[in-house]
Structure 1
Amino acid sequence: MIRLVNLVVLTLFTGVFAAAGAGETGHLSAEQLAKAVRSDSISIPTPGELFAALGKTGKTNWAGQYRGPIPVTYSNRAQIALNLGGLIADGFIAVEAKDGQQVKNIGSDIIKLAKALGVSEKLLGRGNSINEFADQNEWDTLQEELEATQNEVKSSMQSHADQDLVILVTLGGWIRGTQVVTTAIVKDYNEGSARVLRQPALVHFMQSKINEVSPELRGEALVKDVSQQLGEIEKLVSFPPGKAPTVDEVRKINTAVGKMMTEIESKELPK
C-alpha cells in the first residue's frame, strides 16, 4: 500500500518549501526528498503549507492557474481516476485563491467523478460541507475538508480492492501539480525555485508504481502513454546536481506535463 499522507502530486512542492525556508522549518531538502521518496513512508506536508511556500518565492496568481471545466462523463475507469487526482489538486488551488464559487464548482465535479468509481456515499456529505465552508469563506477548514475528501476517496477504493486506481488518482494529482508549479516558475523565474525541479528519483518512483498495477490496467492505451511520457519527463528533470534549469528548460517540463494533462482530459482515448 502506498502510505502517502497527501497526494504525491504535491511532493514536488516540497522542494519549493525546502528552498523557501528549509533552514527555518527543518523540512527535507530537495536532495533528501529525492532519496526519501524511494520509501513508501515519506511524510508529505499539507497542501496548504506547500502552496503557501510556493508563494514565498514570489506573489503567485492562483486564479491564473485555473483551467477550463473538464468532462465528468468519462466511462474509462483509469481516465476517471487520473482526472479525479487532477481535480483534487485544482480544489487546493481554488482555496489558495480564496474563490468560494470555484471551490464549490470543483467540489461538485470531484463528487461526480468519485461516484463514477463507486466510492463511499459519505462523499455526498463531504460535498455539502465543502459548499457550506466555501459560502462562509472558511479557507483553513476548507483545506482540511479537501484533505478529508481525498482520504475518503482513497480509503473507499482500497476497501473495494481498487488499489490500482488509488495509484492513478495520486499520479493524476502529481501531473496537475507539476503543471502548476512549472507554470508559476516560468512566469516568475528564479534559480532557487527552479533548482528544486531536479526530481528524477520522484518521477522514477511514480513510474515504478504504474508498473505495479494489474497487467490489464497497465496495458490500457492511456496508462501506457502516461507511463512512456513519464520516462521522457524523468530525462527533463535529470539536470546536474546544484545546477538550476534555465527558464527554457522549465518551460520544456511544463510543456511535457501539459501534453499529458491534455491527453488525460480528452474524451478521445489514445489508440
Structure 2
Amino acid sequence: MNFLRLAKNCLPAVLPALALAATIAGARGQENATDAKPAAAPKLDLKAFPGALVDKVVVPVPAEIFAVLDKFGQPDWSGQIQLPERNPVSAGRVRLALVFGSTVAEGFIAVQAERGESIQDVGRRVLRLSESLGLGDAVVPHCQSIIDAAGEKEWRRVREELDRTQQTVRTTMEKLRDDDLANLVSLGGWLRGTEAVTAIVSGTYSPDKAELLNQPDIVRHFRDEIAAMNQLVRSEPEVVAIAEGLSVILGEIEKAEGAAPSADAVLRIGETCRTLLEGFYFEKPKPAPTGSNSQP
C-alpha cells in the first residue's frame, strides 16, 4: 500500500499524529545542520496517511507509518513520554476505552524513544486495561511479546509485534462491532498524539511546522462520531467535555482560513488537548496554595 495514494477518506488517528512530530523534529535537525545545505522537509498529505475504515472506525497501519518515521531519523522522543503514575482498571468502559487509546499512543512514543522500561510499563498497563475491557485473550500474547522484545532491546521486533497487535485489534473490533468503544479508543489516542505534536510545534514555532496541525477533517470526523454515539455514551462527562473541546480545536483551525494555525492557536489547541486528557488520563495539576504567608 502506497501511503501517498490512499483513499481520501482514510483519516489519521494515533500514529499519524506521531508521524507529524517526527516530521517536525526531522526538519529541526535539518535547520541545525552546518556542514551541508539543508534539505527541504518532506511534504506530507494529512489525508493520505495509511489507514483503513472498519465500520467507520479509523484503523491506522503501523508498519507503513513506522517506515515513514525511519526516513526522518531518530528524533528525541524521550521528552514526550509522560506516563501517569497509575491508570484506572475498574472505571466504566467509556473511561477505560479512552485511557486504553492514550496508553497505546504513549507506547508508540516510547518505542520511538527506544525506552525499554517505558515500553514494558506500557505493555503491562495495556494488559490490565485490555482485560478490563474484555479483550485480554486477544491482546495478552502480543503484549507479552512486546514486553519481552523491549527487555531485549529488539526494537524491530517490538515494531513487528505492534503491527500484529493492530491487526488483532482490528479483527476483534469487527467481531464485537462495538463502534462507540472503538471510536473512543481512537479518540483517546488521537488526543494524546496531538498534544505531543503541539508541544513540539510550540517549542520552535514556524508556519511550515504549524501547517502540519491543519487537519480539520479528522476533528470533524471525531465530532460527528460522537454525535452518532448511543445517548448513554455521549452523555458521559468525559465524552461531553471532548465534544466541546473538539469544537474549540476546530474553531482554532478554521480561524486560519486554510493557512497554518498561529503560534497562539497552536498553544490553545495543545492546552485544550491537555485539559481533555486531564479528564481521564493525566492527573489534574494541583491548585496553587492560597495564603502561603499565613501561619498554620
The answer, yes or no, to whether TM exceeds 0.5 is yes
Report what 1:117 is aligned to.
133
Report what 1:160 is aligned to.
176
Among residues 74, 78, 99, which one is paired with 1:63 in the alignment?
78
Report what 1:83 is aligned to.
99
Counterpart CA distance in 2 for 1:51 and 1:18 is 8
Structure number with greater Rg is: 2
Counterpart CA distance in 1 for 2:16 and 2:161 is 20
Counterpart CA distance in 2 for 1:105 and 1:5 is 31
Number of residue equivalences: 258
2:25 maps to 1:10: no
Counterpart CA distance in 1 for 2:236 and 2:283 is 15
Report what 2:217 is aligned to.
201
Report what 1:48 is aligned to.
66
Task: Give the drift of 1:227.
Answer: 1.2
Task: Give the drift of 1:61.
Answer: 2.7
Counterpart CA distance in 2 for 1:235 and 1:37 is 27
Between 149-158 and 200-209, report the one with greater CA deviation: 149-158
Among residues 124, 138, 155, which one is paired with 2:154 in the alignment?
138
User: What does 1:223-262 correspond to in 2, within 5 Å?
Assistant: 223-241=239-257, 243-262=259-278
Tell me if structure 2 keeps the 8 A contact 1:18–1:29: no
Q: After superposition, give the CA deviation of every residue in 1:218-250 in whole Å (9 maximum; x if it has no partner).
A: 222221221121111111122435633332221
Among residues 208, 214, 221, which one is paired with 1:192 in the alignment?
208
Residue identity opposite 2:166 in structure 1? Q
Greater length-normalized contact order (CA 8 Å, ≥ 6 residues apart): 1
Tell me if structure 1 keeps the 8 A contact 2:57–2:179: no
Q: Secondary structure at the match of 2:141?
A: helix
Q: Secondary structure at the match of 1:263?
A: coil
Counterpart CA distance in 2 for 1:267 and 1:24 is 36
Task: Give the drift of 1:6.
Answer: 9.5
Structure 1's 92 and 167: CA in aligned 2 closer, same or farther, altered over 3 A? same
Task: Give the drift of 1:13.
Answer: 4.9
Counterpart CA distance in 2 for 1:87 and 1:66 is 11
Q: State percent identity of aligned pairs.
A: 26
Residue identity opposite 2:263 in structure 1? V
Report what 2:37 is aligned to.
none
Tell me if structure 2 keeps the 8 A contact 1:195–1:242: no
In structure 1, list runs of 5 or more residues that go unmatched: none
Tell me if structure 1 keeps the 8 A contact 2:10–2:53: no
Report what 2:287 is aligned to.
none
Q: Indicate the RMSD between aligned Cα atoms, in angstroms.
A: 3.5
Task: Give the drift of 1:148.
Answer: 2.4
Structure 1's 74 and 180: CA in aligned 2 closer, same or farther, altered over 3 A? farther
Tell me if structure 2 keeps the 8 A contact 1:120–1:156: no
Counterpart CA distance in 1 for 2:263 and 2:53 is 28
- Give the TM-score of the pair, scaled to structure 1: 0.80
Residue identity opposite 2:197 in structure 1? V
Q: After superposition, give the CA deviation of every residue in 1:69-111 in whole Å (9 maximum; x if it has no partner).
A: 3323242100000110111111111111111111000011011
Q: After superposition, give the CA deviation of every residue in 1:110-168 in whole Å (9 maximum; x if it has no partner).
A: 11111101014132211221122112212122122123223423432442332210111
Task: Give the drift of 1:179.
Answer: 0.5
Between 183-192 and 256-265, report the one with greater CA deviation: 183-192
Structure 1's 91 and 127: CA in aligned 2 closer, same or farther, altered over 3 A? same
Counterpart CA distance in 2 for 1:71 and 1:50 is 31
Structure 1's 6 and 126: CA in aligned 2 closer, same or farther, altered over 3 A? farther
Q: Secondary structure at the match of 2:279?
A: helix
Counterpart CA distance in 1 for 2:19 and 2:139 is 28
Tell me if structure 2 keeps the 8 A contact 1:16–1:193: no
Task: Give the drift of 1:266.
Answer: 6.5
Structure 1's 42 and 169: CA in aligned 2 closer, same or farther, altered over 3 A? closer
